[in-house]
């Protein structure tokens, strides 16, 4: 599986050109992309990275990539990120690594959002527990409100996000009307952001045993 992730990540990095502002996602697959990008920088590529987590920033700096603050740039040329699950409409569930808030901010500012995954992440319907980032104050009350949306939230024990918040991982029987669900969850007091990424993805690069598949918006 690691080889499939690496293939997908290396394919995505081929899209990077001199002078680009590049969003650097978070997770095991994206790490391969960051390290490869670091090799390209050492060979003369001139790019600026916008990291979606403290961990990705650390990896990027160690790889020799110049990392900047997103506030200094109006837009990002290309972001390479991973996903926990991808459906047939290129909607995503993200946040298994806990970086969903920064990942969604970066995705929303990107001209292109390239998702790199192995083939196990492609699904016809979501099943991965939906991460919801919530403020610490009153998190149990926020969890009760999430439960009224037919979600079953569980605190991610021992975990605090880079933003100082908690993650509630929400199980469910089925996620329907995901666009409405994303908005409904984010409307709850105490919710900072949730892991439904709707309509943000330009393309998905899938590492498969028999090669690479590229999924694009229909």
Instruction: Indicate which residue of 57, 103, 133, 182 is catalytic.
Output: 103
Whether 97 contacts 27, CB under 8 Å = yes
Active site residue 103: yes
Give all strands (DSSP E) within the chain, no chain letters.
21-24, 48-51, 66-67, 76-81, 85-86, 92-93, 110-118, 130-134, 152-155, 166-171, 191-194, 196-197, 203-208, 211-216
Residue 145: Cβ within 10 Å count: 18
Write out the two tokens for 212. Answer: 């690479």
Query: Which residues are catalytically annotated?
Result: 103
């Amino acid at each position: 599986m690691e080889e499939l992730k690496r293939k997908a990540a290396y394919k995505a990095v081929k899209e990077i050109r001199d002078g680009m502002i590049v969003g650097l996602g978070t997770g095991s697959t994206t790490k391969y992309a960051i390290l490869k990008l670091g090799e390209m920088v050492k060979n003369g590529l001139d790019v600026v990275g916008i990291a979606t987590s403290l961990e990705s920033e650390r990896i990027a700096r160690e790889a020799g990539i110049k990392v900047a603050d997103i506030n200094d740039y109006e837009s990002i040329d290309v972001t390479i990120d991973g996903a926990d699950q991808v459906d047939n409409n290129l909607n995503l569930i993200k946040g298994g690594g806990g970086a969903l808030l920064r990942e969604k901010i970066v995705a929303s500012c990107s001209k292109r959002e390239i998702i790199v995954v192995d083939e196990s992440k492609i699904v016809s319907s979501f099943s991965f527990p939906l991460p919801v980032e919530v403020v610490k104050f009153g998190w149990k009350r926020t969890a009760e409100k999430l439960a009224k949306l037919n979600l079953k939230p569980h605190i991610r024990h021992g975990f605090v996000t880079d933003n100082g918040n908690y993650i509630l991982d929400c199980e469910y029987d089925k996620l329907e009307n995901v666009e409405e669900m994303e908005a409904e969850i984010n409307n709850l007091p105490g919710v900072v952001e949730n892991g439904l990424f709707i309509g943000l993805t330009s393309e998905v690069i899938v590492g498969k045993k028999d090669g690479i598949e590229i999924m694009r918006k229909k």
